[in-house]
Amino acid sequence: MTHQDKQVINEVEKALDDILFGSVELYVQEGKVTQITIRHIKKTGVGAGNTNGHSQKHVHSKTNLNLKLGT
């Protein structure tokens, strides 16, 4: 495992540790991770117009971490 591989794994682990609800997206170009996008979801109560009793999901913030990986 290269130093760059370890760096990507550490960044993904940090992204997963930093969110309670949301998603982590990995962008790959030519077999290398070039970007990690972290989407935080803020869960709210029943909102206006939502009559089915399910919680609405709103995107609270979106952070992009760009990794500059050599080829």
Mean pLDDT of 7-13: 95
Task: Give the pLDDT confidence score for residue 59 in this predicted structure.
Answer: 44
This prediction has a pTM of 0.58
Q: Which of 3, 4, 38 is nearest to 21 (CA)?
A: 38
Task: Give the pLDDT confidence score for residue 34 in this predicted structure.
Answer: 94
Q: Where are the domains of the chain?
A: 3-66
Task: Give the pLDDT confidence score for residue 49 in this predicted structure.
Answer: 55
Please tell me the distance from the alpha carbon of residue 57 to that of residue 39, in angstroms, as a whole number.
12
Residue 71 has pLDDT above 50, yes or no: no
pLDDT tens per residue, range 14-69: 999 999 999 999 999 999 999 999 999 988 886 655 545 444 444 444 445 555 44
